[in-house]
Amino acid sequence: MGALLSRGLARTSTYVVALILSVVMIFPFVWMVSASFKPQEDVFAYPIQWIPKVFQPENYSELWTTIPFPLYYLNSIKVSVAVTLGQLITCSLAGYAFARLSFPGKNKLFIIYLAAFMIPYQVIMIPQYMVVRSLGLVDSHWSLILLESFSAYGVFLMRQFFTGISMELSEAARIDGSSEFGIFARIILPLAKPGLATLGIFVFASVWNDFQAPLIYIFSDKLKTLPLGLASLNGEFTSETQLIMAGAVLSLIPIVAVFLFLQRYFVSGLTVGAVKG
């Protein structure tokens, strides 16, 4: 009886903590949606007016005329989709090599590759910019696409997933005369959908919300991504906060759509690294 009571209390405590954390996490989102329908003077009113006194849905239409919002949106979609596809290709190929191929110095090379995790972006920012400038890619979407299409984290994630797939499948395919790339493309890659989906969600969300890289490499207004475009609403003396919040609400649509489309693979992909290292 005491054990059952203890388990019941533990479960209740877990639910209470989860509920509190959920409320804390959803608080900024609710405030953002509320602020997107308010006049500027009511956005920072205290106490917070969760339901706007003056309901102003025209903030959304005004956003489209104040800045070239559709252009910024399309630019972000272009860069995010290109980088996501690029990382899915490069990381899956590199992860497969590290997980299932044998070559001299494989483990040492993998450790060196993972060392990139420990290097802050600020350390490589200037050398990276010099390389991009020497290639003539500054003020071009190619600067963002090429730089972000490679990821040490993505290689690590895919390597962990490929390691968990039985080697007997590859051996049987080799006996049947399949090439190594054929094994990768026809057998291993279809089994890696959870890992690919997890990586795709992380990459798309990261690139979609990225502000620093576009700020460094993009100068032309017609090439700006959505975070840069929304930042332009912050003036030196005034700030169109209600329009920024409206833009932030609209910016969630692609991320939510990608997650809903890939969510059935997401949980199993997240647990890959915990199963086998």
- What confidence tens digit (pLDDT) does each residue in 115-163 have? 877 788 888 889 899 999 999 999 999 999 998 998 888 998 899 888 8
3 state DSSP class of 150: coil
pLDDT at 1 over 60: no
Q: What is the largest CA-CA distance in the chain?
A: 73
Residue 139 counted as domain residue: yes
Domain count, the chain: 1
Residue 28 counted as domain residue: no
Residue 26 counted as domain residue: no
Distance, in Å, from the CA atom of 187 to the CA atom of 163, rounded to the nearest integer, reads 14
Residue 250 counted as domain residue: yes
DSSP 59: H
Read off the pLDDT of residues 11-36 as tens digits, 9 standing for 90 and up. 788 888 888 888 888 888 888 888 88
Q: How far apart are the first and last CA of the chain?
A: 40
258 versus 270: the higher-pLDDT residue is 258
Burial class from Cβ neighbours inside 10 Å (0-12, 13-18, 19+) for residue 268 reads middle
Distance, in Å, from the CA atom of 52 to the CA atom of 36, rounded to the nearest integer, reads 10
Q: Which domain holds residue 172?
A: 57-275
Residue 143 counted as domain residue: yes
* Short-list 219, 99, 233, CA closest to 169: 99
Read off the pLDDT of residues 54-79 as tens digits, 9 standing for 90 and up. 888 888 988 888 889 999 999 999 99
Distance, in Å, from the CA atom of 253 to the CA atom of 232, rounded to the nearest integer, reads 21
Read off the pLDDT of residues 191-242 as tens digits, 9 standing for 90 and up. 888 889 889 999 999 999 999 999 999 999 899 999 998 988 876 556 788 8
Distance, in Å, from the CA atom of 9 to the CA atom of 198, rounded to the nearest integer, reads 34
Q: What is the 3-state secondary structure (H, E, C) of 205-246?
A: HHHHCCCHHHHHHCCCHHHCCHHHHHHCCECCCCECHHHHHH
Average pLDDT over residues 165-188: 84
Give the CATH number of the domain where residue 172 resides.
1.10.3720.10
| Side chain identity, residue 21 | L
Residue 43 counted as domain residue: no
Residue 97 counted as domain residue: yes
How confident is the model at residue 275, as a pLDDT? 43
Question: How many other C-beta atoms are found inside a 10 Å radius of the C-beta of residue 69?
Answer: 21
* Short-list 57, 212, 43, 191, CA closest to 129: 212
Read off the pLDDT of residues 257-268 as tens digits, 9 standing for 90 and up. 888 887 777 665
Residue 39 counted as domain residue: no
How confident is the model at residue 266, as a pLDDT? 64
pLDDT at 164 over 90: no
DSSP 192: T
